[in-house]
Amino acid sequence: MKKKGSKVYIIAEAGVNHNGDFKLAKKMIKVAKKSGADAVKFQTWYDGELTGKFTQKVSYVKKNYKTNLNRYEISNKLKLSEKDFINLNIYFKKLKIDFLTTPCGFKSLNFIVNILKVPFIKIGSSELNNYSYLTEVAKKNKIIFLSTGMSKLEEVEEAFRVIKRYNFKKLYILQCTSEYPCPSENLNLDVLKIYKKKFNNCGFSDHSLGFEASILSIGYGARVLEKHFTLSKKLKGPDHKASLNPKELRDYVTRIRKAELMIGDSEKKPTKKELEIMPQTRRGIVAIKKIKKNQTITRNLIGFKRPATGIKMKDLRLVIGKKTKKNLMEDEPIKLKYLKR
């Protein structure tokens, strides 16, 4: 799933920013590939499968997408066809980048599993309490990404219990706040510590502006990141203004890759460079004044100074009371071979 050496799986979220245009969708895949992202995610649905005719426009859609179309009409306008997805799937394989999509119902779920044969399934936040749907997804034996916007912890735990009854390959629980864009004070990244402890595999679906939240989430244990992008923020549609443009997406991936290098492997140990400089920067046992050959070493004759090329400070007992085999100069490190037994 991840590139060799990578710790974080980056999903470039195309969503509906293709505006229902196959050519735009194809171009978005190419842009994401060049950025270094691991995957591109779309959304898949059939007419009437996602949005009913009585659905009202939510506030961010009203603000970002000035149109006379109602929510049902917008939904139908922004979808891609079966043929589009079949051809996009071929293009994904050609470019060697992972194909993800969020199926928005049972029919679209069966289509992406049986026809597109995708290895991943993304479950959107709006399906968190749709237990019959979660059950069907879990039965498909795929890698699952579950977003958790608009939910309480007990709802996330219940969704987890529903899914884990079945033989899925892996499940990532993604912290998410369903605001577009999401203000910093509503991101609640601290939840990732709970997700990491309770569910082990966690990630972050980032709807904020900028890169900071995603970078910070890695330190909280996120190993999957999802971020919206667009070909241009000037395009007409509900999500373009809250998305990264192509240059920003490249910068985003670059910074995430740099951040994942900083994670390390949880084993506290000196680096190669530290091992090189350690003898000259740590203190060791040295003579603080001249000590003559055959002289018995007492505490007032020795001290702790750089370099640590002789006997270590913790082994002081090996020095006190011993006679020297040679004359020692002031500040000279004391070594075992200089002492008589």
Q: Is the residue at 36 inside a domain?
A: yes
The residues of the chain scoring below 50 in pLDDT are none
231 and 115 together in one domain: yes
Q: Is the residue at 3 inside a domain?
A: no
Q: Is the residue at 167 inside a domain?
A: yes
Task: Look up the pTM and report it.
Answer: 0.88
Q: Which CATH number belongs to the domain containing residue 109 in this structure?
A: 3.20.20.70
250 and 316 together in one domain: no
Q: Is the residue at 314 inside a domain?
A: yes
pLDDT score recorded for residue 55: 81
93 and 180 together in one domain: yes
Tell me how far apart the alpha carbons of residues 36 and 247 are, in angstroms, rounded to a whole number.
12
* C-alpha closest to that of 249 among 4, 6, 30: 30
pLDDT score recorded for residue 4: 58
Domain count, the chain: 2
147 and 246 together in one domain: yes
Query: What DSSP state is assigned to residue 115?
Result: I
Q: Which CATH number belongs to the domain containing residue 327 in this structure?
A: 3.90.1210.10
Neighbours of 96 (CB within 10 A): 7
Q: Is the residue at 288 inside a domain?
A: yes
202 and 314 together in one domain: no
Is 171 in contact with 163 (CB distance < 8 Å)?
A: yes
Q: Is the residue at 1 inside a domain?
A: no
259 and 276 together in one domain: no
pLDDT score recorded for residue 48: 85
* C-alpha closest to that of 290 among 331, 256, 325: 331
DSSP result, 247-301: HHHHHHHHHHHHHHHHH--S-----HHHHHHHHHHS-EEEESS-B-TTPBP-GGG
Q: Is the residue at 161 inside a domain?
A: yes
If DSSP codes are grouped into helix, strand and coil, which group holds residue 217? Answer: helix
Last residue of a domain, one of 208, 241, 263: 263
162 and 308 together in one domain: no
pLDDT score recorded for residue 50: 82
Domain around 96: 9-263
91 and 239 together in one domain: yes
74 and 35 together in one domain: yes
Q: Is the residue at 300 inside a domain?
A: yes
CA 315 centroid distance within chain: 45
220 and 279 together in one domain: no
pLDDT score recorded for residue 2: 64
pLDDT score recorded for residue 3: 62
In this structure, are strands 302-305 and 284-287 parallel, antiparallel, or unpaired? Answer: antiparallel
309 and 207 together in one domain: no
DSSP result, 33-45: HHHT-SEEEEEE-
Last residue of a domain, one of 263, 290, 310: 263
Distances (CA, A) of 136 to 3, 90, 121, 182: 29, 26, 11, 31
144 and 236 together in one domain: yes
Last residue of a domain, one of 263, 294, 317: 263
pLDDT score recorded for residue 340: 96
Q: Measured on CA atoms in the order 135, 136, 137, 138, is the torsion positive or negative? A: positive
